[in-house]
Amino acid sequence: MTGLSVIVRRELYGYFATPVAYVFTVIFLVLSGVFTFYLGHFFERGQADLLSFFNFLPWLYLVLIPAVSMRLWSEERRSGTIELLLTLPVSIGTSVLGKFLAAWFFVGVALALTFPLWITVNYLGHPDNGVISATYIGAWLMAGGFLAIGSCLSAATRNQVIAFILTLVVCFLFVVTGFPMVQDLFTPWAPTWVIDGLSALSFLGHFDAIARGVIELRDLLYFLLTIVTWLLATVIVLNLRKAN
């Protein structure tokens, strides 16, 4: 058994051996239903699709994903087990990747459990299942981006509440940079390349592009590069902590 698989198993056991996984999953599923059928006016719209669910999903992630990621490293530092983890015969990079993959898999399971929504729209009408499938992939990639950011910020502090707040704020900025009202603040004085850069950094812009049913290489690369960049930043933070 490789060091990576050991860490992934350890983290998954940590999720499912406590009420954390079940509480998160129940809250996620309940809020998904509320946003889809009530706040999203599913029945009033008269459309057999999951647009109302996916429109609210990034905002749901803003609260729930930081709640998952805040414990990745903050809890290890608070309890003192980080020293034991870092002395295992595996690299820091392997530990970072293992903890991230376990959290990403856990969120993926919660996302997959929303399948009754998919069944519902197919029962009520004839949705474009190709578009829905692509959007689920985009939603999982976006969750990975949120978790990678949370991993880095969790490694920077031993306080889970601070890690939660920092992750929420940073992810919020990554979501809203593509909003026209935000770009309008920069339009009077910033050059075009700055505005285009802000738009390109938006989680929401790339997620919406995938939600149209076309998974383009640039959108996949955006999420993958975001994940890799923030995981590398996590490794750097932990190396600095280890050196001190």
Nearest partner of 31 among 53, 3, 8, judged by Cα = 53
Please report how the helices 203-211 and 129-155 are oriented relative to each other, as an axis angle in degrees rounded to 10: 160
Helix H segments across the chain? Answer: 3-16, 19-34, 42-45, 51-69, 74-79, 81-86, 92-112, 115-124, 129-155, 160-176, 180-186, 192-200, 203-211, 217-243
Token digits for 173? 């900025």
Q: What is the pLDDT of residues 99-142, one digit of tens each?
A: 999 999 999 999 999 998 888 888 887 888 888 999 999 999 99
Q: What is the pLDDT of residues 213-227, one digit of tens each?
A: 788 888 899 999 999
**Cα(71)–Cα(67) distance, integer angstroms:** 8
pTM of the full predicted structure?
Answer: 0.89
**Cα(191)–Cα(91) distance, integer angstroms:** 43
Task: Encode burial over 32-55: b for 16+ CB neighbours within 10 A, e otherwise.
Answer: bbebbbeebebeeeeeebbbbbbb
Token digits for 135? 């959007």
At 19, phi and psi to the nearest 5?
-70, -10
Domain residue spans in the chain?
3-243
Taking the chain (244 residues) in runs of 10, the rounded mean pLDDT of each run is 80 82 87 83 76 88 89 73 68 89 93 90 85 92 94 88 92 82 68 71 85 85 94 90 64
